[in-house]
Every structure is written in C-alpha cells, then in structure tokens.
Structure 1
C-alpha cells in the first residue's frame, strides 16, 4: 500500500555561516545535523537555529541536497 514517496523525508541541515565564510585551517569542518521533516506541512526548505561547534554559537542551519 506504500506509494512512491514517503511523507516524512530525512534531510541534512548544514551551518550557513561556516559555508559562507569558507572553512579556514583553524576550523576542522562544517557543522551538519540530520533530521526529518513532513513534506505536506513544510513543502519549502527547512531552516533551524542550531548550535555550531565550529563557530561556537547558535547559527542558522539550512537544508542541503543529499
């Protein structure tokens, strides 16, 4: 009975300030979180304020393509 696409999609959130500033040699990487979103309730891209351990502050994490 399952249809083609599942309602709940797994998405990856990436820190926008790390990507915008570029990863310098002091920073070991880019902060990423994995979460789920409901396609019917949130049809557009997801953005959440999460803690970035590389920036040492709460920043906007936006959805990226897999």
Structure 2
C-alpha cells in the first residue's frame, strides 16, 4: 500500500515546493516556515489537500 503525500505551498507565490506524508490524525492544516526557491526567502508554507 502506498503512502499518501500532500504538498506544502508557499503562501506568497503559491508554488508547491515540498511534499510530506499525510497524517490522518492531524485535524488542522500544517503551517511551517520554509525556504522558497522562487521567492528567495523564508516564507510560510501551508499544507494543501
């Protein structure tokens, strides 16, 4: 059985830079400060569905 993946999208430019494994016990969307290679700075990345 394959693991389900979700993407982390930059809140500034909207590019989906990172993928993580989905956690069904997480009720809210994950928000993490990550480096966006398109913006060139650390921005807030949010989990997409």
TM-score past 0.5 threshold: yes
Whole-angstrom CA distance in 2 between matches of 1:64 and 1:9: 12
Is contact 1:31-1:53 (8 Å) kept?
A: no
- In the alignment, is residue 10 of structure 1 matched against residue 2 of structure 2? no
Q: Which aligned segments of 4 or more residues in structure 1 are displaced greater than 6 angstroms?
A: none
Between the two proteins, the alignment pairs up a number of residues equal to 47
Is contact 1:10-1:37 (8 Å) kept?
A: yes
Structure with higher strand content: 2
- TM-score, with structure 2 as normaliser: 0.73
- TM-score, with structure 1 as normaliser: 0.58
- Contiguous gaps of at least 5 residues in structure 2: none
1:51 to 35, 38, 47: 35
